[in-house]
């Protein structure tokens, strides 16, 4: 493999990893507080479309969009809409005690519907023609770190040739880890995830924590959608886009990291490498496999290579569960609604 190809692979993996790292950190926050939000793919879709819509209307209303305003507006739209989705999830599962799996799946159906509906018709609804495109905002999000991105030769290319959100998410992951393990609020939150009744008895306001975890967690996951739209696909929208599949991988990544955000910092990129490996399989191996499967074209084999991230996740799931180390297990009350009067 040439170094050029390797560089392309690394860069694709890191961009990919950033999307699912946002998703998985948000989901981890929610799960640590006992909420299994299978609506994360839907939330990411909503975050993506909200940021796109915000940027679209702003760019269309002024002749010369200001990059800082572009970023603020689309980020704000994204966070508000995803937090609202988290609020809806929270209201249904925390206050109304609906089943978390079903609520989450519904949120995914709903979020995908809303996002694709508006993504497909935003241009038409606003009276324009053609494909939606927010070049200025996308460019603002793709802005790289100064100095580091051009002065260090190959190191710049490998580590610093990405949009600034790539580094924000890394900081967020470590901050989240610190929050869980070193702050009182984080400890309270984890206590709720393990046993809400005990936490309640200790005077922790379970409802407030759960709502906050759901809203903030969703907002963070939503930024993953924003990054996908603005950076990964460069400010456009494609229906049937990959956000949903990436969203499920983000949920899987939570398990892969055994609920520790610091592990997401490398796990996400590993998933990225696995996801893109189908483009970079060495031709020797590819030819060998083609002979085994009796396939005439190498593109046919790519379909099978694309299974790799999912298979890796499955293997990790099995390994984690077979070790039974206590610190690697899911929060004990994960997926269970809490009702004080229940015993």
Partner 1 sequence: MNKQPFIRIRKKDDRPFWQKLVIKFAFIVLALLIAALFINSVTKLNPIKVYVSMFKGAFSTKRRIWITVRDTCLLLSIAVGLTPAFRMKFWNTGAEGQILVGGLCSAALMIYLGNKIPSALLLVLMFIGSAIAGALWGLRPAYFKAKYNTNETLFTLMMNYVGIQLIEFFVDIWDKKQSHSVGIINGDTNAGWFPALFGQQYLLNVLLVAVITIAITIYLTYSKHGYEVTVTGESESTARYSGVNVPKVIIRTMLLSGALCGLAGFTEVAGISHTISVKTSGGRGFTAIIVAWLAKLNPLVMIIYSFLIVFLNKGAVQIASDFNLNEYASNIITGILLFCILASEFMTNYEIVFRHKEEQ
List residues near partner 1 by CB under 8 A. Answer: 36, 38, 88, 92, 95-99, 101-103, 105-114, 116-117, 120-121, 125, 239, 245, 248, 251-252, 255, 295, 297, 299-300, 303-304, 306-307, 310-311, 313-314, 317-318, 321-322, 324, 330, 339, 341-342
Q: Which residues contact 110 (CB under 8 A, 6 or more apart)?
A: 42
* Cβ–Cβ < 8 Å for 211, 93: no
The nearer residue to partner 1, 327 or 341, going by C-beta atoms, is 341
Q: 258 near 247, Cβ under 8 Å? A: no
What minimum distance in Å lies between the beta carbon of 212 and partner 1?
A: 20
CA end-to-end span of the chain: 61
Q: Cβ-count burial of 303 within 10 angstroms (0-12 exposed, 13-18 middle, 19+ buried)? A: exposed
Q: How far is the CB of 285 from partner 1 (least distance, A)?
A: 17
Max Cα separation, the chain? 66
CB of 6 to partner 1, least distance (A): 24
**Euclidean distance between CA atoms 150 and 160, whole angstroms:** 8
Tell me the two tokens of residue 286.
Answer: 């590819």
Alpha helices in 33-66 (DSSP H): 40-61
Q: Contact at 8 Å (CB) between 47 and 223?
A: yes
Please state the closest distance from residue 61 (CB atom) to partner 1, in A. Answer: 20
Give the residue with the Cβ less far from partner 1, 141 or 305.
Answer: 305
Of 131 and 322, which has the nearer Cβ to partner 1? 322
Nearer to partner 1, 15 or 108 (CB): 108
Cβ–Cβ under 8 Å, residues 40 and 250: yes
- Minimum Å distance from CB 333 to partner 1? 15
76: left (phi > 0), else alpha (psi -120 to 50), else beta?
alpha
Least distance CB 122 / partner 1 (angstroms): 10
| CB 214, min distance to partner 1, A | 15
State in angstroms the smallest separation of the CB of 38 from partner 1: 8
69 vs 238, which CB is nearer to partner 1?
A: 238
User: Do residues 313 and 24 lie in contact, with contact meaning Cβ atoms separated by under 8 Å?
Assistant: no
86 contact partners, CB below 8 Å, separation of at least 6: 30, 37, 43, 214, 215, 216, 217, 218, 219
Nearer to partner 1, 14 or 36 (CB): 36
- Give the integer Cα–Cα distance in Å for 104 and 89: 7
- Residue 43 structure tokens: 């939330």
**Least separation, in Å, of the C-beta of 126 and partner 1?**
12
Nearer to partner 1, 182 or 294 (CB): 294
| Residue number with CB closer to partner 1 (184 or 297) | 297
- How far apart are the C-alpha atoms of 19 and 162, rounded to whole Å? 12
Nearest partner of 334 among 1, 31, 3, 115, judged by Cα: 31
Q: Which is nearer to partner 1, 201 or 318 (CB)?
A: 318
């Amino acid at each position: 493999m040439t170094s050029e190809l390797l560089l392309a692979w690394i860069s694709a993996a890191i961009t990919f990893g950033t999307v699912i790292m946002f998703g998985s950190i948000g989901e981890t926050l929610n799960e640590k507080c006992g909420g299994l939000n299978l609506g994360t793919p839907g939330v990411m879709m909503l975050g993506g479309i909200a940021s796109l819509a915000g940027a679209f209307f702003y760019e269309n209303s002024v002749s010369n969009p200001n990059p800082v305003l572009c970023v603020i507006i689309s980020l704000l739209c994204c966070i508000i809409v995803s937090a609202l989705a988290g609020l809806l999830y929270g209201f249904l599962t925390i206050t109304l005690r609906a089943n978390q799996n079903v609520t989450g799946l519904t949120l995914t159906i709903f979020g995908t519907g809303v996002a694709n509906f508006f993504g497909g018709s935003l241009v038409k609804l606003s009276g324009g023609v053609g494909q939606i495109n927010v070049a200025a905002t996308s460019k603002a999000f793709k802005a790289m770190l100064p100095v580091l991105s051009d002065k260090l030769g190959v190191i710049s290319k490998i580590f610093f040739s990405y949009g600034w959100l790539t580094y924000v998410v890394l900081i967020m992951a470590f901050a989240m880890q610190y929050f869980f393990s070193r702050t009182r609020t984080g400890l309270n939150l984890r206590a709720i995830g393990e046993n809400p009744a005990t936490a309640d008895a200790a005077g922790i306001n379970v409802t407030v924590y759960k709502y906050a975890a759901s809203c903030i967690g969703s907002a963070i996951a939503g930024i993953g959608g924003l990054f996908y739209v603005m950076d990964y696909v460069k400010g456009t929208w494609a229906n049937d886009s990959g956000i949903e599949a990436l969203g499920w991988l983000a949920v899987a990544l939570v398990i892969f990291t055994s609920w520790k955000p610091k592990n997401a910092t490398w796990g996400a990129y590993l998933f990225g490498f696995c996801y893109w490996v189908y483009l970079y399989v060495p031709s020797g191996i590819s030819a060998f496999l083609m002979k085994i499967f009796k396939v005439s074209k190498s593109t046919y084999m790519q379909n099978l290579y694309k299974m790799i991230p999912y298979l890796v996740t499955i293997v990790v799931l099995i390994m984690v569960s077979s070790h039974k180390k206590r610190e690697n297990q899911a929060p004990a009350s994960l997926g269970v609604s809490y009702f004080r009067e229940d015993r």
